[in-house]
């Protein structure tokens, strides 16, 4: 069975472009994005890793460390790094795991045999500081991911951890939030600003700090 939301993110030791890491020690109380790509020297992957490098400050200001994985060896990752830097406009600034024996890929169920070969599909795991898996995404090899969406869901997860709220359809930071159905409207009016009751179960409010 694959990894489900709320599961403990499995730990592993792996070779990366930044040396050998123990995953839980490497993330050490931070949020983490662990994402797989099918292969080195492929076009979509080059754009995705380039974008990730360019977003370093965005991830850092949310307290998030990023790490990529593919089944190619570390020497291949290192040879590919200049292409990623040129395409993305930023030096590679996060580790890429080399997983030629498929240890990490199998642990995280990143190889989907129906998708053509024994390389990884485009999986994303967002993992919280307590090492719980909080969000998973799986894209096919032919479709590049939207890293703006990955930042958006991190913002939503961090907000909904801080306050008893949910984020509505297409929410973006600064938009109104939805008050938790467990909270009575009177209490919501004391706790949040601009509370609007549209239905007894749907109360909007201004996003709390």
Instruction: For residue 59, count CB atoms less than 10 angstroms from its CB and return exposed for 0-12, middle for 13-18, buried for 19 or more.
Output: buried
Q: Is 43 in the site for ligand BEZ (CB under 6 A)?
A: yes
Smallest distance, ligand BEZ to C-beta of residue 53, A? 16
Token pair listed for 68: 């990529």
Q: Which of 39, 54, 107, 157 binds ligand BEZ (CB under 6 A)?
A: 39
* Adjacent-strand bridge partners of 177: 205
Residues tagged active-site? 45
Binding segment (CB under 6 A) for ligand BEZ, from list 25-33, 35-43, 147-155, 186-194: 35-43
Q: Is 192 helix (H, G, I), strand (E, B) or coil?
A: coil
CB of 142 to ligand BEZ, least distance (A): 5
Q: What whole-number distance in Å separates Cα of residue 1 and Cα of residue 31?
A: 24
Nearer to ligand BEZ, 141 or 203 (CB): 141
Q: Tell me the closest approach of the beta carbon of residue 81 to ligand BEZ, in angstroms.
A: 16
Establish if 82 lies at the interface with ligand BEZ (CB under 6 A): no
In the complex with ligand BEZ, the residue whose CB is nearer, 36 or 167, is: 36
Tell me which residues in 99-158 interact with ligand BEZ (CB under 6 A): 141-142
Cα–Cα distance measured from residue 67 to residue 173, given in angstroms and rounded to the nearest whole number: 24
Q: Is 8 an interacting residue with respect to ligand BEZ (CB under 6 A)?
A: no
From candidates 38, 50, 88, 95, binder to ligand BEZ by CB under 6 A: 38
Beta strands in the chain (DSSP E): 13-16, 19-22, 31-36, 64-70, 96-98, 122-127, 133-139, 165-166, 177-179, 196-199, 202-205
Q: Minimal distance in Å, beta carbon 133 to ligand BEZ?
A: 24
Size of the residue set binding ligand BEZ (CB under 6 A) = 8
Backbone dihedral region of 190: left (phi > 0), alpha (psi from -120 to 50 degrees) or beta? alpha
State in angstroms the smallest separation of the CB of 22 from ligand BEZ.
28
Ramachandran class of 127: left when φ > 0, alpha when ψ lies in -120 to 50, beta otherwise: beta
- Of 161, 188, 166, nearest to 177 by C-alpha is 166
- Which residues would be at the binding site for ligand BEZ (CB under 6 A)? 38-39, 42-45, 141-142
């Amino acid at each position: 069975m694959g990894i489900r939301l709320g599961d403990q993110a499995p730990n592993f030791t792996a070779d990366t472009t930044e040396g050998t890491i123990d995953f839980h020690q490497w993330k050490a109380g931070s949020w983490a994005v662990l994402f797989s790509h099918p292969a080195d020297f492929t076009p979509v992957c080059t754009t995705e890793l380039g974008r990730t490098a360019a977003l370093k400050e965005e991830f850092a200001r949310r307290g998030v460390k990023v790490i990529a994985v593919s089944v190619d060896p570390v020497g291949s990752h290192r040879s590919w790094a200049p292409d990623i830097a040129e395409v993305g406009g930023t030096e590679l600034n996060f580790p890429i795991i080399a997983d030629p024996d498929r240890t990490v890929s199998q642990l995280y169920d990143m190889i989907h045999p129906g998708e053509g070969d024994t390389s990884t599909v485009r999986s994303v795991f967002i993992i919280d500081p307590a090492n719980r898996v909080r969000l998973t995404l799986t894209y096919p090899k032919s479709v590049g991911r939207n890293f703006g969406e990955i930042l958006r869901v991190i913002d939503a997860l961090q907000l909904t951890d801080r306050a008893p709220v949910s984020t509505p359809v297409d929410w973006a930071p600064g938009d109104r939030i939805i008050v938790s159905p467990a909270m009575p409207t009177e209490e919501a009016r004391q706790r949040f600003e601009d509370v609007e009751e549209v239905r007894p179960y749907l109360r909007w409010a201004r996003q709390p700090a």
